[in-house]
Structure 1
Amino acid sequence: MVSHPANVADKIQQRQRASLLAIGTANPANCIRQDDYTDWYFRVTKSDHLHDLKTKMRRMCDRSGIKKRYFHHSERTILDHPVLLSGQQLPSLDARQDILATAVPELAAAAAKDAIAEWGRPASDITHLVVSTYSGAHMPGADLHLASLLGLGPSVCRTVLYLQGCTAGSSVLRVAKDIAENNPGARVLVACAELTLVFFRAPGSFPGTIAMQGHVRRRSERRRGRR
């Protein structure tokens, strides 16, 4: 462990503090109203015969307070990848990962471009990139693909946090704050991107499926923090 003497640390803190300069958000292209979601879900999963589960899920959706749901996946995605409905998790993992490998960085880029435009400076001025997602875990990672989509310079320092769950947003902002306050002139782009395809499966195929489909809403939202 390395630490500075108290007086040196105080001077550093007084000289440089992190600030949030712009925020951008983005949603996947496919949107379904909550009132229609139960019928859509049971139809595309070919599960309309499960009347009791459908009734239970409709009741959960009605009480959730959710108005709309945004998805990357569509009925076409499910038709093209029937393994997504499998009760076996591992056989569908490759298919999910293949889709998420490009979809997550693209969604993050849409929000990041919005934030960069609000910031009003060129993307080339970004010095650090911090990316977090629970939706997939690839190497090369979402951070590298996002940097390429945004045209960031090769000298950008990249950090990626995978599978942080609900703590991801606070974790990446903490990392970005530490970077900004300890690197003079740092401009840190933070991106958090989630897609519910990682959880999607047919009802009854996995314990808790109905609860996840009825209540879980992942807002795909990128946050940009820079000093």
Structure 2
Amino acid sequence: MIHLGSHRVTTDDLVDHIAASYHDPNAPHLPHPRMGLWRRLIHNTGVRQRYWTRPLPEATKRTSVGERAKVAFGDALELAEAAAREALHVAGLDPGDVDAIVTSHTTSWTVPGLDVHLVERLSLHPTTARISLTTLACAGGAQALVRAMEYTKAHPGARVLVVAAETLSTIYHQSESTPQSFMYRALFGDSAGACIVTGVTDDTPPAGFVATDPFELVVPNSRDRYWGAIDDEGLHFESTKAAARAAADAVPYIADWLGDRPREWAAIHPGGPRIIDDVIAGVGLDEKQGRHSHDSLAENGNLGGVAVLDVLRRTHHDPPVPGDPGVLAAFGPGFTVAGVYGTWA
């Protein structure tokens, strides 16, 4: 289940806001001389719209790191609770039926984390097992599925609630004017996603994505690709030109993991058009298999750790042929990869 921020911000809205906010430093009545470049960067992200938890003027105003983090976590928690409740309802589960919860949240610092807050808000049993992932960013949703899969293998029949939530609009800072800062503020949207992972037993026949083999990778010598940084204004994402080829650098490792196993479909993290296309081609699929990722990116933006869960949701609505094997994969700062191979039931 996916819950988006309540404020729709189109790419045209964003471009207009930036054009009105940045002017030629030598002639304030004129547009900024780099506005043409910024406009191209923003449109090249492939995002038509994104949804933020706060309206554009409020999300982009300057504020303290403390206030920004407080608002970002509060909004993420509201989205996470809504997504989790819907996931439980669709699965026909009561809160007491949940054996474990795996959460992923990166975009605001808090202690205790999302896991503890959700145990209380959802009235989960106080002894519910918790796995809290806090620094994985875009890889969070896939990594949470890997951890949930491991839990169900160790506890046959267990029911694991997976929840990822990110308020990525918090990385928008008016003081920044680097090309990558405009790309990131155009890419990201706010959301939460949740699903139930259940170990297959005789009493619970498989349905949907049946995960069979997890994958985790830290690409060697890749910490220069992109990373997070915190200053007096809040959280920023930084990157170098090497970030553009990071997913392609990971593809040989993914291909080696997959080996000669067949694959007929893929749920790839929509981090950007190039990431989707590089990975789809790298695992031997045609561009049609990237449609759900491209649609998610265009309609919602890059949702960080939630993004691959949105692609998986779209795959459920337009499913592969039962029995078809496929792969799910997401990428995060580091440069890291989390993936799962399995079949569609």
> What TM bracket, shorter-length normalisation?
0.7 to 0.9
CA gap of 1:136–1:173, structure 2 versus 1, over 3 A, is: same
Q: Which has the higher strand share?
A: 2
Taking only aligned residues, the RMSD between alpha carbons, in angstroms, comes to: 2.3
Distance 2:67 2:158 in 1: 38
Map 1:30-45 onto structure 2 (within 5 A): 30-43=7-20
> Does 1:29 find its partner at 2:15?
no
- Cα offset, 1:53, TM superposition: 3.5
Match of 1:70 in 2: 51
**Unaligned segments of structure 2, at least 5 residues:** 199-345
Distance 2:75 2:43 in 1: 29
How many residues align structurally?
192
Q: Which has the higher contact order (CA 8 A, sep 6+)?
A: 1
- Cα offset, 1:181, TM superposition: 1.3
> Counterpart amino acid of 1:64?
T
> Which SS does the other structure have where 1:220 is aligned?
strand
> Which SS does the other structure have where 2:82 is aligned?
helix
Match of 1:217 in 2: 188
Aligned pair partner of 2:62 in 77, 82, 87:
82
> Counterpart amino acid of 1:77?
E
CA gap of 1:166–1:78, structure 2 versus 1, over 3 A, is: closer
> Which SS does the other structure have where 1:188 is aligned?
strand
- Which digits, 9 at most, give the CA deviation of each residue in 1:150-183, with x for residues without a partner? 2212121111111112221221111001111111
**Unaligned segments of structure 1, at least 5 residues:** 1-23, 84-91
Distance 2:169 2:67 in 1: 10
> Which SS does the other structure have where 2:74 is aligned?
helix
CA gap of 1:199–1:36, structure 2 versus 1, over 3 A, is: same
Distance 2:153 2:95 in 1: 20
> Which SS does the other structure have where 2:54 is aligned?
coil
Q: TM-score, normalised by structure 1?
A: 0.75
CA gap of 1:212–1:117, structure 2 versus 1, over 3 A, is: same
Match of 1:104 in 2: 76
Match of 1:120 in 2: 92
Distance 1:117 1:200 in 2: 34
Distance 2:74 2:6 in 1: 14
> Which SS does the other structure have where 2:197 is aligned?
coil
Q: Which has the higher helix share?
A: 1
Match of 2:38 in 1: 57
- Cα offset, 1:102, TM superposition: 1.5
Whether the 8 Å CA contact 2:4–2:191 is kept in 1: the answer is yes
